[in-house]
Amino acid sequence: MLDLQKVYRPRSLEEALHLLSNEPLRPLAGGTDLLVELRGQVLREVSILALTYIPELQGIYEEGEHLFIGPMTTFTELIESPLIQKNLPVLAQAAQTIAGPQIRNVATVGGNVANAAVSGDCIPSLLLYDAKVRLMREGSQRTLPLKDFFTGPGTTVRGPEELLGGLLIPKEHLGDLSAHYIKYSVRKSMDLAVQGVGLALSLKQGRIEKLRAAFGVCAPTPLRLLSDDAYRGRRPDEELFQDMLAEVEGSLKLRDSWRASKAYRQHLVRVLLREAYTACLAQAKGE
């Protein structure tokens, strides 16, 4: 038996925000994490806010200068979306690595972000494109960079009365970045990442114009590293890669765990970053 006090099923965003403003509730998206915690009695005597029937939290569409991704978008919907395939193929690539078809059919991108697990596979790809999060409460809302959303493992800046209302991708980056996400896990599917590495770059007349990297399971929170300005104008050669690797290794906070030792994680960073770098260069050169 699930130890629940109340379950609310609002039919609009306005109703959901009103409910959140009146009592402590746990938002329920796809439930692939929350239901596990409830069944294992990690959570007890909680009240649930089911988000399934709120149309404002669904869909992928253009919104002004941004591409909007509704937090209730499932990973299967991400993979199959023509807008994502055209503008953010690396996000579809990352979503394809998550679990298996059954989970991808119900798990959501909003849940992946709000859950704030360092192993969240979609987060590095979103960080590469300077994604923003929209946080909403009754009567107001705020937007902040995704990189500032996470405060620690499983914790974020979202307040108890706030709901993740959407993910916003600036259009300025869409179409001009060659990006690649690679994940290492013990099993090929149905497993969490031991390490996740995302890289994106663009070339102008054979030299670096933009270069950024993002990492999962490399620190207490997902990380966005490197800056376009630091590498702009340089040749994409081995010297650049070594400089990039040195900057990355100096910024990570790797640790020992039962999944992998710190030393093995350091090895993985070097191997995965090189693979991502090689793949991005091949894309950028049309190879």
Query: What are 189-220's pLDDT values in tens digits?
Result: 767 889 999 999 999 999 999 999 999 999 99
Give me the pLDDT at residue 173, please: 85
CA gap 172, 31 in Å, rounded = 33
Q: Is the dihedral of CA 228, 230, 232, 238 positive or negative?
A: negative
67 has pLDDT over 90:
yes
Give me the pLDDT at residue 190, please: 67
Nearest C-alpha neighbor of 27 from the set 99, 135, 120: 135
Residues 6+ apart with CB under 8 A from 1: none
Give me the pLDDT at residue 33, please: 85
251 has pLDDT over 70:
yes
Residues 6+ apart with CB under 8 A from 249: 266, 269
Judge contact between 161 and 21, C-beta under 8 A: yes
**Can you tell me which residue has the tokens 């006090």?**
5
Query: What are 126-156's pLDDT values in tens digits?
Result: 999 999 999 999 999 999 999 999 999 999 9
| Average pLDDT, integer, range 100-125 | 94
> Confidence band (pLDDT; 50, 70, 90) for 275?
very high
166 has pLDDT over 80:
yes
| Alpha helix (H) residue ranges in the chain | 13-22, 34-39, 75-80, 82-87, 89-96, 101-104, 109-114, 122-128, 228-231, 238-251, 262-284
Give me the pLDDT at residue 57, please: 98
1 has pLDDT over 70:
no
| Average pLDDT, integer, range 34-43 | 78
Q: Please give the domain boundaries of the chain with CATH numbers for all domains.
A: 4-50 (3.30.43.10), 60-173 (3.30.465.10), 178-285 (3.30.390.50)
| Average pLDDT, integer, range 67-76 | 98
Q: Mean pLDDT for the chain?
A: 94
**pTM of the prediction?**
0.95
Q: Within 10 Å of residue 190's Cβ, how many Cβ atoms?
A: 11
Name the CA dihedral angle for 157, 159, 165, 166, rounded to a multiple of 10 degrees.
10
CA dist list (Å): 184 to 174, 189, 268: 26, 10, 8
Give me the pLDDT at residue 30, please: 93
188 has pLDDT over 90:
no
